[in-house]
Amino acid sequence: DSGVTQTPKHLITATGQRVTLRCSPRSGDLSVYWYQQSLDQGLQFLIQYYNGEERAKGNILERFSAQQFPDLHSELNLSSLELGDSALYFCASSVVGPGSDTEAFFGQGTRLTVV
């Protein structure tokens, strides 16, 4: 158990809909990362938050948005869903801050299926 909790584990929804994925980082971790993994693909970085502020942005679609709350949990919002958005969405957390580095711990992911 990595200590990172993601909910829900599975989500099935229709095209055009909007969903929210939730992530609770490990206790003490200030950074949260979101990644998308399509079938048999690598991990595509979406966005990173550090202590409530957006830190880095990857290939995140405009239909997607995220935020990190004062209690450090994070939510990833996916709207106007398309079939191609079906994927595993991973959240990771680390203590990393500016000028430091440490490993990121991953949650078990949310499997999103858009039908």
Partner 1 sequence: GESVGLHLPTLSVQEGDNSIINCAYSNSASDYFIWYKQESGKGPQFIIDIRSNMDKRQGQRVTVLLNKTVKHLSLQIAATQPGDSAVYFCAENNYGQNFVFGPGTRLSVLP
The answer to whether 52 contacts partner 1 (rule: CB under 8 A) is no
DSSP 38-76: -TT--PEEEEEEETTEEEEE-S--TTEEEEE-TTS-EEE
Q: How far is the CB of 80 from partner 1 (least distance, A)?
A: 25
To partner 1, the closest distance from the beta carbon of 59 in angstroms equals 10
Q: Does 103 help bind partner 1 (rule: CB under 8 A)?
A: yes
Among 5, 20, 22, 45, binds partner 1 (CB under 8 A): 45
Is the distance from CB of 25 to CB of 4 less than 8 angstroms? Answer: yes
Nearest to 51 by CA among 108, 22, 94, 5: 94
Any bridge partners for residue 112, and if so which? 11, 87
Taking CB under 8 A as the rule, does residue 99 contact partner 1? yes
User: If binding is defined by CB under 8 A, does position 67 make contact with partner 1?
Assistant: no
Does position 58 bind partner 1 by CB under 8 A? Answer: yes
Interface with partner 1, residue 64, by CB under 8 A: no
Told to check if 27 binds partner 1 by CB under 8 A, we report no
- The two most distant CA atoms of the chain are separated, in Å, by 43
